[in-house]
Structure 1
Amino acid sequence: MAEVSAEARIEAPAEKVWARLTDFASYGEWNATHTDFPDGGPAALETGATFAENMRLMGFPAEVTWTVEELETARVLAIRGKGPMGVIVGTRYSLAADGPATVVRIDGEFTGAAVSLMAGRLRDSATAALTESLHRLADLVA
């Protein structure tokens, strides 16, 4: 298993950050690993919703089929998906008010046989992508 996380304080209220975070039409403007949603984002953002995403991580393209596992508007979005070579990917976005700003944390995990072969490199690449994504998100909502 490889676990990654990144956190940033964004100078905007949680509702504004959440609106951008869950605007799947503009997801690629801030998410550094996203390339596209072949069938669009989830039809309705709700627990149990599924959607496919094309991504690029460590220079390799991958399609992940996601399921929304946890959803609390303006606070938590947790998704889990199946990627290539039996890799299971989990991503959890959490938002917490910090005065007029919002602390955004992204936690991710990768499990599966293929992960053990490249866990260190995957951890480094994914952490860099999460950090870059948070900077882009902050620029868009600030």
Structure 2
Amino acid sequence: MAEVSAEARIEAPAEKVWAQLTDFASYGEWNATHTNFPNGGPAALEAGATFAENMKLMGFPAEVTWTVEELETGRVFAIRGKGPMGVIVGTRYSLAADGGATTVRIDGEFTGAAVSLMAGKLKDSATAALTESLRKLAGLVA
């Protein structure tokens, strides 16, 4: 298993950050691993909803079929999906209001046989992507 995380304080209220985070049409503007949603984002943003995403990590394209595992509007959005080569991917976004700002944390995990072969490079690449995503997200909402 490879686990990664990144956290940033964004100078915008949590409601504004949440609105951007759940605006699937604009994912390409801030999410560093996102390529596209071949069928659009989830039809309804609710636990159990599924959607497909084309991504790129470590220079390799991958399609992940996601399921929304946890949703607490304005605070938590967690998804788990199946990627290529039996890799299971989990991503959890959590928001905490901090005055007029918001602390945003992204936690990710990768499990599967293929992960053990490249765990170090995967951690470095995914951590850099999360950090870049938070920087771009902050630029959109601040």
Counterpart Cα distance in 2 of 1:124 and 1:131: 11
1:94-125 Cα offsets, whole Å, 9 max, x none, are 00011110000000000000000000000000
Runs of 4+ in 1 over 3 A off after TM superposition: none
Give the share of equivalent positions with the same residue, in percent.
90
Task: Tell me the SS of whatever aligns to 1:12.
Answer: coil
Aligned residues: 142
Q: How far does the alpha carbon of each residue in 1:10-44 deviate from its partner, in whole angstroms, 9 at most, with x for none?
A: 00000000000000000110000000000000000
The offset of 1:79, in angstroms, is: 0.1
- Over the aligned positions, Cα root-mean-square deviation in angstroms equals 0.2
Shift of 1:67: 0.1
Displacement of 1:9 in angstroms is 0.2
TM-score between the two structures when normalised by the length of structure 2: 1.00
TM-score by length of 1: 1.00
Secondary structure, counterpart of 2:19 in structure 1: helix
Q: CA deviation at 1:130?
A: 0.1
Could you report, residue by residue, the CA deviation over 1:22-73 in whole angstroms, capped at 9, with x for unpaired residues?
Answer: 0000011000000000000000000000000000000000000000000001
Between the aligned partners of 2:28 and 2:46, the Cα distance in structure 1 is 21
Structure 1 counterpart SS, 2:118: helix
C-alpha displacement of 1:137: 0.1
Task: Return the alpha-carbon distance in structure 1 between the equivalents of residues 24 and 56 of structure 2.
Answer: 17
CA distance in 1 between counterparts of 2:73 and 2:16 reads 11
Please give the alpha-carbon distance, in whole angstroms, between the structure 1 residues aligned to 2:79 and 2:14: 19
